[in-house]
Amino acid sequence: MKLELGYIDIKGIRFGTYNAVEDRVLVVNPDTLIEQVLEDPHIKAARFEIASPGEKTRITPVKDVIEPRVKVEGPGGIFPGVISKVDRVGSGKTHVMRGMAVVTAGKIVGFQEGIIDMSGPGADYTPFSKTHNLVLVMEPAEGIHPHEYEKAARLAGLKIAVTVGELARNIAPDETVVYETPTIAETFDAKLRGLPRVGYVMMLQSQGLLHDTYVYGVDAKRTLSTLIRPTELMDGAIVSGNCVSACDKNTTYHHLNNPIIEELLARHGKTLNFVGMIITNETVYLSDKIRSSDWTADMAGFLPFDGAIISQEGFGNPDTDLIMNCTKLEKKGIKTVIVTDEYAGQDGKSQSLADADELANAVVSAGNANETIVLPPMDHIIGTLDYVDTIAGGHDGSLRPDGSIEAEIQVIIGATNELGFNHMSAR
C-alpha cells in the first residue's frame, strides 16, 4: 500500500469574509464555520480564536488537537467511519496543512484536560506552541452528560478540520513524501534477508467512559488486537476520544503524525525489515487484558517479529497492559523496547510505573510527568482558567492571584507523549 503525502506549509491564520489559503496563510470566515458547530444541539455556543507561536497566549482546557488533511486521490476520505464513509484508507494522495492545527477547548469535560502555552517555559514542553492554531471554544448545552458533550466536541473539531483541509485540495505541495508499506509476503523478499524483522505494537487508550479511542469509528474497547497498515493512521483511521492526562494524551494530531511509524518506515530495507503494525486496546478488567495481550503475542509470533516497539497511552492501569504485552512477546523470543513516560513523584524517587517485570529491560522514557513547573501569567486566555486547580497535575492553589500557574508538567498537552512526540527523556 502506497500513500503520497503532499505537505502545504501554513505560515499564519487570519479571519476574513471567505475561506481560502492565500500565500500560505489560512483565511477563515468564523461565521460560516460556526454554523457547522452549532448544528449539534449539545453545543450551546461557540467561537473561534487564533493562537500563533510566540504570543503570550494560553489555551485551556484543551480537548483535542487535529491537523487538517484532505484526500486528493484514492479510496476513502479523512476520518473514515467518523466523518467520511467507512472505506479503507491509507493509499493514494493526501494533502496536509502542515504548521497549523485545529484545537478544541472550552468548558471542561473531564479532569484530565490540559494547557497549551504559546510562549514562555511551558511552550518548550508542547509541540503545539509551534503550530498556528485555529481554536474552537465551545460551551455545552445545559443538562447534558459529560460523555455527550465529549462526543459533540470531538465531532465538531473533526468536522472543522475536514472543512479547513478541503481548502488545500488544489494547492501544489511544498514537499511530497511517499510512504509505502509491504505486504507480509513482500517482507520475506530476498533483498530483506538478514535484516531484523521488526514490528510495532501500538496500545490504544480504551479504559472506559471518557477514555476512548476510535478505529474507523469503532470504540477500541470493542475490538480485539488486529493488524493495521501504518499509512491508514495518516488518513485518520484512528482518532482520539479520551480525557487522559494532558501530558501523555495521544491527540488526533499525534495519531496522524506518529513518529514511531515514520521512523520505522524510513529505516525499512536499510537497517531493519518493518514487518507490520498491531493495534491493541487498554481495558479495565484483568480478563480483557489477558485476552488482548494473548492475541497480540500470538499475532506477533505469527508474522513473525524478531523485535518489537511497544507504545502505550496513559499511566497506572494501562501499565499492566504494557507489561503483559512486553513479557508475552519476550517469552516468545521477540525482543521488545517499550516507550512510556514516568510518574516517579516530584522528587523522581518513586516507582516509575505501576507494574514492572525483569523482562522489561529495554525502556525509552518520555520524561517524568510529576516534574513541577511555574507557568507565568499570559496576556490572553483562550478558554477559561476556572479548572486549573482541579485538572490532573494541578492542586488547590495552582492558579496564583497574578495568573501564573504552579503545577506538574502533567497539565501540559503532549509534555511526556508516549509516542516520543516531544523533546523530553530521562536516564
- Measured distance CA(179)–CA(182) in Å, rounded: 10
> Cβ distance 1 to 181 under 8 Å?
yes
Which letter, b or e, does each residue of 410-423 get, where b requires 16 or more Cβ atoms within 10 Å of its Cβ? bbbbbbbbbbbbbe
- CB atoms inside a 10 Å sphere around CB 180: 15
C-alpha cell at 327: 513479557
Taking each helix axis from N to C end, the angle separating 317-331 and 286-302, rounded to the nearest 10 degrees, works out to: 30
Measured CA distances, 280 to 62, 313, 366 (Å): 26, 11, 21
Give 366's contacts (C-beta < 8 A, 6+ positions apart).
Answer: 248, 339, 340, 341, 342, 416, 417, 418, 420, 422, 424, 425
Which residues 6+ apart lie within 8 Å of 265 measured at CB?
A: 179, 180, 181, 230, 274
Write the single-letter amino acid at 106.
Answer: G
Contact 233, 94 (CB under 8 A): no
Annotated catalytic residue: which of 243, 277, 329, 411? 243
The bridge status of strand 307-311 relative to strand 335-342 is: parallel
> How far, in Å, CA of 52 to CA of 132, rounded?
5
Task: Say how many residues make up the chain.
Answer: 427
Classify burial at 66, counting beta carbons within 10 Å of its beta carbon; exposed 0-12, middle 13-18, buried 19 or more: buried
Give the integer Cα–Cα distance in Å for 279 and 406. 36
Contacts of 94 (CB under 8 A, 6+ apart): 3, 4, 5, 6, 69, 70, 71, 72, 74, 78, 234, 235
247 is catalytic: no
Q: How far apart are CA 41 and CA 157, in angstroms?
A: 15
State the chain's maximal CA–CA distance in angstroms. 67
Q: What amino acid positions are annotated as catalytic residues? A: 243
